Amino acid sequence: MAHQGASGALNYGKAKLRRKLINGAPVFSEHVEDALFEYLERERSAGRAVSNRILSEEAVKIANSMQFGNFIASSHYINRWKQRAFRSSANSLRRRNGYTLYNMANMDQTMVRIDNPANRTNNVVGKSTIRIVNTGCARRGFTVCLAAYATGHKLPAFIIFKEQSGKIPARALQAFAYQAPIHKTQAATNAFEEYDTDVLYVPAGCTSILQPADVYWNKPFKSTLQCLWEQYMREEARTPKGNLKKLSRQHVLDFVAEAWAAVPEETVARSFKGCGISNVLDDSEHSDLHSRLADVGAVVPDHDGVQAECCDLFFATDSEESFDGFESD
């Protein structure tokens, strides 16, 4: 193994080898990543917090001990490592349970403002102040939960107006959820067990690459919402006092339903493949991955179940503050 590492450094050169490692290319990373998972398992089993910085330092130590030269475990490498781990765990669940497209779902909650004006507008040159009218509800919002299956079938949007917690209730069914404390409460865990549901948490900071909703659904959904709001504003409905009339809850419900219906089922189905969740397991559909995920590198298979166990420890932290640099999207 030492000979392979030395050969790699010699053939690729420092700059090229560094680029290949950071881009997730399978030069010799499988051995480093397996050892890094084992280290993570030991540390978390002992109850110690493991930050990105600690993982980076340990990865460099492991690479040096294996005589792999010119290895830099940057923050990009660690993020890509987490992304590969997520896909590996998803593939392991599919192999073990024989899941079909009807068994895989993604659910995401997103904040929506009642006033939804555009961020840009055309205007006459020379004006010092650019104003876009609204109904005075710019700070008022509500939570929308979107869920869909890998087949492309969309579930009705789940809307929550003002509540004490401002979070999606734990009773809501989730199959793939992003890293947020509400998804790991005991009530949510009990609900998953009751519905015989396996939950795979998307690593914090990786939702913009791994979560179908973030990558494919939210932009067209919110774009349609904005268009509907602009149409409403052009109608200029007024109150008896002459002020612009605020949207009613029924307006909000109708807008959300219409915007969600406007997201094509083909886009939803493609999102699961683009995020590497529903692709065939022989990696023949690698070309279906979206460009940012395709650069992550090959998915390393499980070795004695280490990855699945460590992923559960790694992505189920009790406190996000103990993970330096793991901010959620």
Tens of pLDDT along the chain (329 residues) come to 333 333 333 333 444 444 444 444 444 467 888 888 888 888 888 888 888 888 889 988 988 888 877 778 888 888 877 777 778 778 888 888 888 888 889 988 888 887 766 666 666 677 766 666 666 666 777 889 999 999 999 999 988 877 555 555 554 444 434 444 455 667 667 777 777 788 877 777 788 888 999 999 999 999 999 888 888 877 767 777 766 777 788 888 999 999 999 999 999 999 999 988 888 877 777 677 877 776 665 565 554 444 444 444 344 333 333 333 333 33
With H, G, I as helix, E, B as strand and everything else as coil, classify residue 221: helix
- Output the pLDDT for position 210: 85
Q: If we measure between CA atoms, which residue out of 28, 25, 24 comes closest to residue 9?
A: 28
Please give the backbone phi and psi of residue 203, each rounded to the nearest 5 degrees, phi first: -55, 140
Tell me the chain's radius of gyration from C-alpha atoms: 23
- Output the pLDDT for position 242: 66
For the record, the structure tokens of 64 come out as: 């040096």
- Output the pLDDT for position 130: 66
* Residue at token pair 């991955």: 289
Q: Domain residue spans in the chain? A: 2-97+299-322, 104-274
How many CA atoms are closer than 13 Å to the CA of 290, on its beta-carbon side?
A: 17
Task: Indicate left, alpha or beta for 276 from its phi (over 0: left) and psi (-120 to 50: alpha).
Answer: left
Burial class (CB in 10 A: 0-12, 13-18, 19+), 40: buried
- What is the Cα–Cα distance from 4 to 66, expressed in whole angstroms? 10
Give the CA dihedral 97, 106, 262, 258, nearest 10 degrees. 120
Q: How many residues does the chain have?
A: 329
Q: With 0.95 as the threshold, say if the pTM is over it.
A: no
- Output the pLDDT for position 298: 56
- The residues near 262 (Cβ < 8 Å, ≥ 6 apart) are 220, 221, 224
Residue type at 2? A
- Output the pLDDT for position 117: 67
- Output the pLDDT for position 295: 63
How many CA atoms are closer than 13 Å to the CA of 295, on its beta-carbon side?
A: 10
Angle at 146 between CA 144 and CA 147, to 5 degrees: 150
Q: Does residue 232 contact residue 252 with C-beta atoms inside 8 Å?
A: no
Please tell me the class of the 104-274 domain: alpha beta
DSSP alpha helix (H) spans, 132-206: 186-194
